[in-house]
Copies of this chain bind each other. A is one copy, B any other.
Amino acid sequence: MAKTDVLSLAILGMLAEQPLHGYQIRKRLGTELGPFRALSYGSLYPCLKRMVGAGLIAADESDAGRVSGSKRSRIAYGLTEDGERRLAEELANSGASAWDDDTFDVRFSLFTKTDSATRLRILEGRRSRLSERLEEVNEGLARVRERHDAYTTELHRHGLERVEREVEWLDKLIENERSATRGDNPSTASAGNN
């Protein structure tokens, strides 16, 4: 039942589609997986090493037809069967708070690989998490208003608005998810107009 950290999960998910080098993984984390901050190699490579050690991924150094001479470069990583199993487990449980700021984006980006029930659980978990935050921010706003500092108040007001929008976004997604489950609309559960 060993736990998988966010980074490992993201990597697992990315490698499920195709084998990649560390370098490519890093780039994709920066662009294609949400507006995920770019990760440094100092974090990435040790993580890959750990995952190889844990048997979740395998390193393929051959890299299809190259002169074998000197280079040590271009190691392609791919999922092992254990890795696939682990990914499946991890995708099935919305467990251990998939609604943290960090984790949510990663989990969401893996939604096409996630079953509908789990998707809904995650979205609702996230929603209720944000509701809590909404209250906190509201309290903060009230308290700060009393202090008559226009800028600080504005900062809070804006922060509140941001959270409210995020809740609205989630509500739409949840609604979409539900109606896709009820009626048997084609599997594309895209969230609206765009």
Q: Tell whether, in the assembled complex, residue B34 and residue A156 are in contact, meaning their CB atoms are under 8 Å apart.
A: yes
Which of the segments A43-51, A87-95, A124-132, A184-192 contacts the partner chain? A184-192
Option from B31, B33, B189 in Cβ contact (under 8 Å) with A150: B189
State whether A35 touches B156 (Cβ < 8 A).
Answer: yes
A6 to chain B, nearest CB (A): 15
> Complex formed: what's the CA distance from A117 to B100 in Å?
38
**A32, B152: Cβ atoms under 8 Å?**
yes
Check B169 against A158 for contact (C-beta < 8 Å).
yes
Stretch at the interface among A53-61, A63-71, A75-83, A103-111: A103-111
The answer to whether A111 and B35 have CB atoms under 8 Å apart is no
Pairwise interchain contact A150-B112, C-beta atoms closer than 8 A: yes
On whether the beta carbons of B194 and A159 are closer than 8 Å, the reply is no
Q: Are B34 and A150 in contact (CB under 8 A)?
A: no
Tell me how many chains of this kind the complex includes.
Answer: 2
Choose among A31, A35, A111, A157 the residue with the greatest number of B CB atoms under 10 Å from its CB.
A35
Asked if B151 and A112 sit within 8 Å, CB to CB, the answer is yes
Closest B-chain residue to A106, C-beta based?
A: B155
Give complex CA distance A53, B49 in Å: 42
Are A151 and B35 closer than 8 Å at their CB atoms?
no
CB within 8 Å for A149 and B112 given contacts A31-B143, A143-B31, A157-B194: yes
**Chain A 119-177 residues near chain B, CB threshold 8 A:** 136-137, 139-140, 143-144, 147, 149-159, 162, 165, 169, 173
Given A31-B140, A154-B173; 10 other pairs, CB 8 A cutoff: A32-B143, A34-B152, A34-B159, A109-B155, A112-B152, A150-B189, A151-B189, A153-B190, A158-B169, A162-B165
Chain A positions within 8 Å of B, measured between CB atoms, are 31-35, 105, 108-109, 111-112, 136-137, 139-140, 143-144, 147, 149-159, 162, 165, 169, 173, 188-192, 194
